[in-house]
Amino acid sequence: MLRATGIRFSADFAQLQKQTGQLLARLRRDIRTAENELVRLKKDEAMLATLAGVRATASRHPGSRPSRTSRINWTNVLEQMPPQFKAGDVRKVRGVQKKRPSEIFAAITRWIAGGNVKRKKRGLYEKAQPRKGGKAA
């Protein structure tokens, strides 16, 4: 009798697995349909916003990637810096406000490697004095 109960449990479990798989497949199909509808609605919104002459609203969900900002000419940013500056001063330049700290420090590192900037102490940088040839040291 114990064996028959085990067989019955196995059959019930297999049936439950089959039903769960069917529900999962249906749910995935519904999600795909909803995502396609959302893409269509976003395209419609963008088209209507263009016709109205306004910028489409970018809905942001937690964990979503921030939208990309335009490319920055870091040489122009360096030209706008005072003789001594901090990373916070770089962030004040127009167009750099939304850049990640890693991007700003990467630019400062490139300036240092290129000889355009010297590190005075932690967090404080100084523009290199131009040589007589006209280029920065």
User: What is the number of other CB atoms lying within 10 angstroms of the CB of residue 87?
Assistant: 14
CA angle 122, 124, 73 (to 5 degrees): 120
Q: Where are the domains of the chain?
A: 1-57, 74-127
pLDDT surpasses 90 at 59: no
Whether residue 16 contacts residue 23, with contact meaning beta carbons closer than 8 Å, is answered with no
Name the CATH topology of 74-127.
Arc Repressor Mutant, subunit A (1.10.10)
Whether residue 127 contacts residue 136, with contact meaning beta carbons closer than 8 Å, is answered with yes
Amino acid at 17: Q
Mean pLDDT check: name the lowest of 10-19, 56-65, 111-120. 56-65
| pLDDT tens by residue, 74-86 | 999 999 999 999 9
Amino acid at 45: E
